């Protein structure tokens, strides 16, 4: 997967790869975690030797800033989006109503697109839809007594945080694959949350967090 992300020279792919690694690696078993921390630099060294210029290309792509037309095409949409949001700030102009004639007016940002079409209510719903499962699965990974369940919860948290971040880079919900996969991970997040609660309730002597205080099973 790392090779494919690098081969595309895509900022969104590299961002997703970095976020998934940053979220999931802490929940790996100790030996696997050490290997993962070694594999990252080793992969860059192999990439530098095998494909001359690739590392500098990736770095230049990631730090291009306003000199990159793919970035300016996105930031140029902000004034238009703000104008449309001000016109209908609460509920937006309606789902499916934004069909620009000019392709440059397509919002390559799901949060902008949602704010325009569904307003503040829809934007809040989208953030909750992506953020709550991410946080729930991360908390499940934090308190999971079983290493395998901890890794599963961490993996689901990584996927949800990637969805949360990458939605700022393209109109994610307009793509069927993204829109159909996210609900699966939302369901998985709820599942690991319940499994961790079940394990904590069945394991004596383990502190478990409930609301704003912790209790210890007698």
- Taking only the tens place, the pLDDT of each residue in 76-100 is 888 999 999 999 999 999 998 888 8
What interhelical angle do 110-143 and 176-202 show, nearest 10? 20
In a domain, residue 59? The reply is yes
Predicted model pTM: 0.81
In a domain, residue 7? The reply is yes
Name the pLDDT band for 1 (thresholds 50, 70, 90).
low
Claim to verify: residue 132 and residue 184 sit in the same structural domain: yes
Instruction: State how many domains the chain has.
Output: 2
Last residue of a domain, which of 31, 63, 95?
63
Per the structure, the complete domain to which residue 196 belongs is given by 78-206+213-218
For residues 168-175, average pLDDT: 92
> In this model, does residue 183 exceed pLDDT 90?
yes
Claim to verify: residue 115 and residue 57 sit in the same structural domain: no
How large a percentage of the chain has pLDDT more than 70? 78
Claim to verify: residue 106 and residue 38 sit in the same structural domain: no
Claim to verify: residue 48 and residue 119 sit in the same structural domain: no
> In this model, does residue 210 exceed pLDDT 70?
no
> In this model, does residue 6 exceed pLDDT 70?
no
Claim to verify: residue 86 and residue 150 sit in the same structural domain: yes
- 191 alpha-carbon distance from chain centroid: 19
Claim to verify: residue 38 and residue 86 sit in the same structural domain: no
> In this model, does residue 47 exceed pLDDT 60?
yes
> In this model, does residue 195 exceed pLDDT 90?
yes
């Amino acid at each position: 997967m790392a090779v494919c992300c690098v081969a595309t020279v895509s900022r969104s792919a590299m961002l997703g790869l970095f976020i998934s690694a940053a979220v999931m690696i802490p929940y790996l078993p100790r030996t696997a975690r050490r290997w993962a921390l070694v594999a990252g630099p080793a992969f860059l060294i192999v990439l530098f030797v095998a494909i001359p210029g690739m590392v500098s290309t990736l770095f230049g792509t990631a730090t291009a800033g306003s000199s990159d037309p793919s970035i300016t095409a996105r930031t140029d949409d902000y004034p238009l989006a703000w104008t449309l949001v001000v016109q209908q700030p609460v509920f937006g102009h309606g789902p499916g109503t934004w069909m620009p004639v000019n392709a440059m007016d397509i919002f390559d940002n799901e949060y902008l697109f949602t704010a325009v079409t569904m307003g503040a209510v829809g934007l809040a719903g989208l953030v909750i839809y992506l953020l709550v499962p991410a946080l729930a699965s991360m908390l499940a990974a934090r308190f999971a007594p079983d290493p395998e369940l901890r890794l599963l919860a961490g993996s689901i948290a990584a996927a949800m945080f990637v969805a949360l971040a990458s939605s700022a880079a393209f109109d994610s919900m307009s793509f069927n694959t993204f829109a159909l996969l996210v609900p699966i991970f939302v369901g998985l997040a709820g599942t690991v949350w319940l499994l961790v609660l079940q394990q904590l309730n069945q394991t004596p002597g383990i502190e478990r967090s409930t609301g704003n205080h912790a209790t210890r099973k007698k």
